[in-house]
Structure 1
Amino acid sequence: MANKPVSNLPQLRQFYTGHNKDGKAIVVAQQDFDWVPVAESQMGFAVPYTTSQPITDMNDDKDLEQHKKTISGTLGLVNPNGSVLRAVDFAPGYACDMHRTQSLDYGIVLEGTIEMVLDSGERHLLKRGDVAIQRGTQHQWRNPSETEWTRVMFVLMDTAPLVVGGEKLGEDLGEHAVVPPSQR
């Protein structure tokens, strides 16, 4: 049974499609998101899907088996050579540490608002439907609301090491790194 969200936001469901013996599309599995509290329950993480190769092999449901193996093991923020689909709930007033992952990230605001803070000092308020495309930059997420939770869906894709001004930039998860626990 899936863990419920740590927030007061609605539970989400995931639907995995495949094919029947006639080659017609069907839903082969569905379940509630499995939420894991992090940062003393100031955030909740759910990982409905991962890939572990640049080219995903869906034959004989190999991708689904690999996903189950990945989330039952040690999954960091980024899955080397693959991708991670992660929903994150942010508590009212919560701000994570400034951090950088070696990844290309799409962050889509589903509920509430979130402030994207960059190490240059830039601040941008994103609202429902807005998309942040993080390209290996140092950033922070802050929920500016004093009363409402925020939910963002992230797609993180592993990338080649980024070099800026001759310096190789690597992963920097900040002083109080929020490393996701196993999703079970």
Structure 2
Amino acid sequence: MASNTSQVSPLPAVTRHITGHNENGRAVIHSSTPAEWVSLGESQMAFNVVYTNQFAPDLSNDTDIKTHETLTQSDKLGLVNPGGTVCRIVDFAPNNPAVVHRTQSLDYGVVLEGQVEMILEDSEPVIMNRGDVAVQRATMHGWRNTSETEWARILFVLQDCKKLTVAGKEMKEDLGIAAGVLKPSGNSQE
């Protein structure tokens, strides 16, 4: 993956605003920063990690912010944050190849821009439009932008989950064709 401070897609820029408290306990803006994008698959897809943290976040003394910064600067973050959450925005190029994968996590995916096809193993693909939400429960899935010309954007919140067993089989993380390109999350280890 190639890191890029500028946006890969032509979609509107993203700014992260983090709130906090001043010395009097009043709500203030802690920081406002432009998104930092990571490109995948020759700019077929771009990731922006908005925020990460552990269960339950410690907000005192900005511990959560320090935890997020330490993790994102460590270059160890996979798709899932073991023992925590990841909020990520993903931009998909027109007619991108779907990367079918499974994470050991419970995810919420909200389409922000465009139309995206959700692909599952044994179900018909589902077309999701702006505002539609997918609740992804550790299933093999992929995302494909259906447009031939316009980019699409999804906001994801991934949260680590307990190991899932279905019909006696443990459903571990499977990065599919992205194995070796994406870092393993490390939450489905023996």
TM-score normalised to the size of structure 1?
0.93
Q: Aligned partners of 1:142 and 1:95: how far apart in 2?
A: 6
Gaps of 5+ in 1: none
Matches within 5 A, 1:1-184: 3-51=5-53, 53-73=54-74, 74-177=76-179, 178-179=181-182
Secondary structure at the residue paired with 2:178?
A: coil
Shift of 1:176: 3.2
Q: Aligned partners of 1:174 and 1:32: how far apart in 2?
A: 31
Letter in 1 for 2:182: V
* 4+ long deviations beyond 6 Å: none
Secondary structure at the residue paired with 1:67?
A: helix
Q: Does structure 2 retain, via aligned residues, the 8 Å contact 1:104–1:158?
A: yes
Shift of 1:175: 2.4
Q: Does structure 2 retain, via aligned residues, the 8 Å contact 1:102–1:158?
A: yes
TM-score normalised to the size of structure 2?
0.90
CA RMSD between the two structures: 1.2
Letter in 2 for 1:62: T
Task: Provide, for residues 3-34 of structure 1, a one-character-per-residue CA deviation record: whole Å limited to 9, x for no partner.
Answer: 12100101110100000111110001111111
Task: Provide, for residues 97-135 of structure 1, a one-character-per-residue CA deviation record: whole Å limited to 9, x for no partner.
Answer: 211000000000000010001000321000000000000
Q: Aligned partners of 1:109 and 1:176: how far apart in 2?
A: 22
Letter in 1 for 2:123: G
Secondary structure at the residue paired with 2:63?
A: helix
Q: Aligned partners of 1:143 and 1:46: how far apart in 2?
A: 17
Gaps of 5+ in 2: 184-190
Q: Aligned partners of 1:72 and 1:127: how far apart in 2?
A: 34
Task: Provide, for residues 48-93 of structure 1, a one-character-per-residue CA deviation record: whole Å limited to 9, x for no partner.
Answer: 1000x21110100000001000101111000100000000000000
